[in-house]
Chain A
């Protein structure tokens, strides 16, 4: 085969998967096993010593999971990936490789509320400190850089606000500071935005959302872009220094441009333990096969719903980057020309009470705390996903009291609009 690069949809179906060598099974089998036999003592020792590629124990890796990993790595244009039990687990595993107590990360203020909590509270208990910056003001990232900064973290499309982040501008700040840029690409998926093409060094996902796409499995993934030199100075000893747990192996020296993904597996996943189940890996993998088709429909429906809401007299504002008058429309045209995603917010003239009433009147939209399902979803972030934030932080993350968030599904758009219409007039 010549080096013809397959298109995105072909990779979404094929990358990482080939017919099972033992049985010929064409769909990826669910390797529902805890462990894998060794050929002999030398093979076992080679696997444990990282000298050979292969399977040992499902907490460290599993063949079903490996197909998922290669598939997402291929879709994102990365060198390797590591799938874990959830999006939050992906974040912990990433930062465990990068941070020591007293170190800092700079994070965009517009993040999923759960990530704001994780960084503020759980990370603090590890001695990891967060400096918040405003993705609408790039200089705020520059100002937050200190000698302790080890990484910058942003969302490509922010949850819940649906705003688009200027990845290239923030990547320039990261490069100047000599730290990796980590992009949570959950809401965009690689079908809409490929952050590595814009300067990201690490991409993380909650696979729970659009990648899995069917609201049936929790999962997360870390993609290594292979772009960052971890050994340049002594900032990242997990990658550059001899590892005592592996008899003195230096990971970057040994694994080159996929050393970060290996570190996440053999230091992070192995020791922290958040392994994805083979069954969840299988369901998410099956979901990814239709990612391009679903994202097209999600975006088409979201735009139609946003336009309809904008024209409705009870609606005060619609924040959807795909609308031509939106503040983020220029960034959307640059970074997400195929569509601005399907998660966005709007506010009602009736404020908090009208928002709560709308949510309870809807019949087709499910009221729940998730996004990226085939089904359309609705939530009032201020009283749920973002309820742990104070009022100022709520407003800054785009989750003020009057804001309603939609995750628009792949149903018929006329039915979605009819549901909103009856709920607003009820």
Chain B
């Protein structure tokens, strides 16, 4: 695996495939990048689990913190590690003790540990380093293009409605009694000719 450059297909398959994500180092402070990513991924439908021993007893956007991966108590598809490079290896060691094994180890933007990556890959896991899943999701869905970011994707297909807020709903205000001028005229013509 070339960890200097990932193909879009590799990232896309991971983001499509995983349902649950444990975020190690998730912060409840709402200006930290981990908070941004946690919230964004939760809104995109991922089952998010915040892992941070310093915040056990609290919850992040309604999800209770756990102290370590071993405390999650249920299978998890991906471990997203929000720790600096020198703290990666112990997290990967812990992840490799999980049964069943997670499918993906993801190291956040700025974090890279090639030895830990090799260990995880030897156990059959996929690894992404030095990337942000929020940015990659936004890029591949082209949502991030709203910020002028080069998504490196093109498409001639009509995209799905980008947010729930753009869905058309029946919750609209009717004006003029809800009848159109044409229907008024039609009704009038009918009664005239009758």
Chain A, 98-139, contact with B by CB distance < 8 Å: what is the 0/1 string?
000000000000000000000000000000000000000000
Q: Which residues of A contact B175 (CB under 8 A)?
A: none
B143 x A261 contact (CB < 8 A): no
Q: Does chain A have a CB within 8 A of B173?
A: no
A21 x B39 contact (CB < 8 A): no
User: From A38, which residue of chain B is reached at the shortest CB distance?
Assistant: B165
- A2-B9, A46-B39 as given contacts; A53 in contact with B138, CB under 8 Å: yes
User: From B39, which residue of chain A is reached at the shortest CB distance?
Assistant: A51
A82 to B147, CA, bound (A): 8
- A43-B165, A51-B36, A256-B135 as given contacts; A14 in contact with B147, CB under 8 Å: no
Q: Which residues of A contact B145 (CB under 8 A)?
A: 16, 66-67, 70
Quote the shortest CB–CB distance from B137 to chain A (angstroms): 10
B147 x A39 contact (CB < 8 A): no
A21 x B166 contact (CB < 8 A): yes
B31 x A81 contact (CB < 8 A): no
Quote the shortest CB–CB distance from A14 to chain B (angstroms): 4
Q: Which residues of B contact A253 (CB under 8 A)?
A: 33, 109-110
A10 to B155, CA, bound (A): 11
Q: Does chain B have a CB within 8 A of A275?
A: no
Q: Which residues of A contact B2 (CB under 8 A)?
A: none
Q: Which of B142, B150, B155, B160 contacts A78 (CB 8 A)?
A: B150
Interface residue count for A (Cβ, 8 Å)? 55
Q: Does chain B have a CB within 8 A of A238?
A: no
Q: Does chain B have a CB within 8 A of A176?
A: no
Q: Which of A37, A246, A248, A261 contacts B148 (CB 8 A)?
A: A261
Quote the shortest CB–CB distance from B10 to chain A (angstroms): 9
A21 x B164 contact (CB < 8 A): no
A21 to B162, CA, bound (A): 7
Q: Which residues of B contact A2 (CB under 8 A)?
A: 9
Quote the shortest CB–CB distance from A131 to chain B (angstroms): 31
Quote the shortest CB–CB distance from A222 to chain B (angstroms): 9
B150 x A18 contact (CB < 8 A): no
User: From B30, which residue of chain A is reached at the shortest CB distance?
Assistant: A49
Chain B, 1-42, CB within 8 A of any chain A CB: 7-9, 30-31, 33, 35-36, 39-40
A81 x B150 contact (CB < 8 A): yes
Q: Which residues of B contact A82 (CB under 8 A)?
A: 148
User: From B142, which residue of chain A is reached at the shortest CB distance?
Assistant: A18
Q: Which residues of A contact B39 (CB under 8 A)?
A: 46, 51
Q: Does chain A have a CB within 8 A of B118?
A: no
Chain B, 129-146, contact with A by CB distance < 8 Å: what is the 0/1 string?
000100100100011111
Chain B, 36-79, contact with A by CB distance < 8 Å: what is the 0/1 string?
10011000000000000000000000000000000000000000
A316 to B118, CA, bound (A): 67
Q: Does chain B have a CB within 8 A of A337?
A: no
Q: Does chain B have a CB within 8 A of A164?
A: no
Q: Does chain B have a CB within 8 A of A24?
A: yes
Chain A, 248-265, contact with B by CB distance < 8 Å: what is the 0/1 string?
110001111010011001
Q: Does chain B have a CB within 8 A of A83?
A: yes
Q: Which residues of A contact B152 (CB under 8 A)?
A: 74
Q: Which of B35, B150, B156 contacts A14 (CB 8 A)?
A: B156
B8 x A3 contact (CB < 8 A): yes
Task: Kindly list the 6 A-B residue pairs having the minimum CB-CB distance in the complex, ordered from nearest.
Answer: A69-B148, A39-B165, A73-B150, A80-B149, A19-B158, A14-B154
Given contacts A65-B148, A79-B149, 18 further A-B contacts (CB under 8 A): A3-B7, A14-B156, A18-B159, A19-B156, A19-B157, A20-B158, A21-B158, A21-B166, A39-B163, A53-B143, A53-B144, A53-B147, A54-B146, A70-B148, A74-B152, A80-B150, A83-B148, A255-B135
6 sample A-B contacts, Cβ–Cβ < 8 Å, listed by A number = A18-B154, A19-B158, A24-B158, A51-B40, A55-B146, A81-B148
Q: Footprint of B on A, CB under 8 Å? A: 1-3, 6, 10-11, 14-16, 18-22, 24, 37-40, 43, 46, 49-55, 61, 63, 65-67, 69-70, 73-74, 78-83, 246-249, 253-256, 258, 261-262, 265
